[in-house]
Amino acid sequence: PHLSTFHGDFQTCKVQGAWPLVKNKFLLVQVTNDPVTGESSATATSKLTVVIKKNQDCAIEPYLMYQAQTDALPGAFHDGHTHYGPHKAVELLEIEEGKHVEIHIRYIATTIVVRQIGRYFTFAIKMPEEIVNSTKGDSNSGLCDRGCPAHERINYQEYLATRHKKIDNLKEDSAIKVQMPRSDAEGICREAKVVDFYFDSCVFDLMTTGDKNFTLAALSALQDIIKLDPSIVNSQLNRTDFRKYDKTFGN
């Protein structure tokens, strides 16, 4: 999947299996990434678990769990509650049944957004910098803080720059096959109005899987992050081409 970290890094990773995304004294978010069906070796998130740790004063005991799996995005926590504590200190909102939920943890001013698009999940979180920084450098803190391990990363810029020229020669390359030509993918992603890293991700996903659900996933991910932090719009470059990558990796 594609990861935008708390520290502004953008990565495309393999991370197959179970990985922690966020891990601190208040919260644990873990995802499971499975191979995408079909011929592609790509993986995507098929299971997501949020564990809100004990907080006696705000009515969570001994912990509170939310779990979503493909085709089961519940509108409640595991015990059937949708909110806990005084003035809904913790609240789960079902925005669209089976497709979109939000979890608000008010005593740590944190919002989590989970969507199911196609068979896979998108995840977004907004958390105070103080809490994020409390685990900085901790080797167990999760992908959102540390990014993906180096050996799990895919150089998506190189992939985007080089694969589109080699479509005819890729049959023997079983690692990452191209399911859609880059030019077609670019057209679809431009039309979807995704930009910058989300444009890269959109084109990458179409090229690797051919599944247009990932276009919507990239668009939703961008919209969610803008909703969580509207100021992000100011830092957008609105880039929808790969000239920079072609120049760097084209040869």
Choose one: 41-49, 159-167, 181-189, 238-246; the region binding another protein (CB under 8 A).
41-49
Rounded Cα distance, 83 and 65, in Å: 12
- Residue 120, interface with another protein (CB under 8 A)? yes
Cβ atoms 131, 121 nearer than 8 A: no
Rg (CA), the chain: 19
Taking the least distance from each CB to another protein, the nearer of 210 and 247 is 210
Cα dihedral across residues 191, 175, 41, 48: positive or negative: negative
Which contacts qualify for 54-59: CB closer than 8 Å, 24 or more apart? 55/26, 55/85, 55/89, 55/107, 57/85, 58/84, 58/85, 58/86, 58/89, 58/90, 58/107, 59/84, 59/85, 59/86, 59/89, 59/90
Pick between residue 87 and residue 168 the one whose CB is nearest to another protein.
Answer: 87
Pair of tokens at residue 6? 């708390």
Under rule CB under 8 A, which residues in 153-212 are in contact with another protein? 201-202, 204-205, 208-209, 211
16 to 27, 42, 45, 153: CA distances (angstroms): 22, 9, 9, 11
Does 40 bind another protein (CB under 8 A)? Our answer is: yes
Q: How far is the CB of 77 from another protein (least distance, A)?
A: 8
Burial group, residue 243, by CB count within 10 angstroms (0-12, 13-18, 19+): exposed
The nearest distance, CB 162 to another protein, in angstroms, is 19
Among 27, 28, 42, 50, binds another protein (CB under 8 A): 42
- The footprint of another protein on residues 220-239 (CB under 8 A) is 220-221, 224-225, 228-229, 232
Q: Does 130 bind another protein (CB under 8 A)?
A: yes
Among 52, 64, 103, 124, binds another protein (CB under 8 A): 124
64 binding another protein? (CB under 8 A):
no
Q: Which residues bind another protein (CB under 8 A)?
A: 1-7, 21-22, 31, 36, 40, 42-45, 55, 57-58, 74-76, 79-83, 85-87, 89, 97-98, 106-109, 120, 122-132, 143-144, 201-202, 204-205, 208-209, 211, 214, 217-218, 220-221, 224-225, 228-229, 232
